[in-house]
Amino acid sequence: MRRHHVITALTGAALLVLAGCGDSDAPAPGTSSGPAPASTVPSADPSAGRPSADPSAARPDSGLPPSPAPAQRAAYLAALNTIAPEIVNGKDDKAVSRGLDQCQSMKGEKDPAKRVAGANQRFIGPHHPDGFGPVKSALIVAAVQANLCPTY
């Protein structure tokens, strides 16, 4: 019974953090002021609909953010490995792809509980075929939003 209370409290705290992150257009406090904001600013530009020579550029019609810069990618993967090493499980490209897919689904979804449920379905591992549960999934959503799509 005590474990249930701890899990409930952690889930509630994670959802509160996510709710605070989702209402602001600015990056979350504690995120680096390096390449993350610069790489997301062009996608909000009205001229973003023009064809781009860069294949990793954001596709505004799809909701996908641009591929992360090397520093963003490293920070994102480190955050996931801190939550649980099995999330990345040595498959960096797959973890980044899942994160970008999570961004796409979060763009239109403002309900924190649905964002967490989506992450729980999307991020799986060999010993977690049904996801990592609501607490770790909330932390995954926070890592995705802070590192890959801070304006979503």
In a domain, 56, yes or no: no
Q: How far apart are CA 152 and CA 132, in angstroms?
A: 22
Domain that holds residue 134: 2-44+62-147
In a domain, 53, yes or no: no
Two tokens at 32? Answer: 């680096």
Under-50 pLDDT residues of the chain:
1-58
In a domain, 124, yes or no: yes
In a domain, 54, yes or no: no
CA within 13 Å, CB half, 107: 18
Q: List Cα–Cα distances, 70 to 22, 60, 67, 136, in angstroms.
A: 24, 22, 9, 24
In a domain, 108, yes or no: yes
pLDDT for 58: 44
Cβ count within 10 A of residue 66: 20
In a domain, 55, yes or no: no
Q: How far apart are CA 82 and CA 64, in angstroms?
A: 25
Amino acid at 98: R
pLDDT for 63: 65
In a domain, 29, yes or no: yes
In a domain, 50, yes or no: no
The count of domains in the chain is 1
| Strand ranges, E, within 55-127 | none
